[in-house]
Amino acid sequence: MTSKELLYVEDALGHEQYVQTQCCETANRIQDSELKNFARELEQVHKNIFQNFYSLL
């Protein structure tokens, strides 16, 4: 993996971690159970994406 490719992966990891955190924080603030579950599902999706990118390293 080139250094430029590594920077792309690191950038993608940072973005996925940020989105995952935002989904978690949003789910904690939402009162509606259906929306809360949706936000939790999105959090899990981004956690999986993060893990897939991390496995490239």
Amino acid 30: pLDDT: 96
Residue 46 has a CB neighbour count (10 Å cut-off) of 20
Cα–Cα distances in angstroms (integers) from residue 38 to residues 17, 23, 44, in the given order: 18, 9, 10
Amino acid 21: pLDDT: 97
Instruction: Tell me the two tokens of residue 16.
Output: 């996925």
Of 15, 48, 17, 19, which Cα lies nearest the Cα of 27? 19
For residue 31, give the 3-state DSSP assignment: coil
Amino acid 9: pLDDT: 87
Map out the domains of the chain as residue ranges: 3-55
Amino acid 37: pLDDT: 97
Amino acid 5: pLDDT: 87
Divide the 57 residues of the chain into consecutive groups of 10 and give the mean pLDDT of each group. 88 95 97 96 96 87
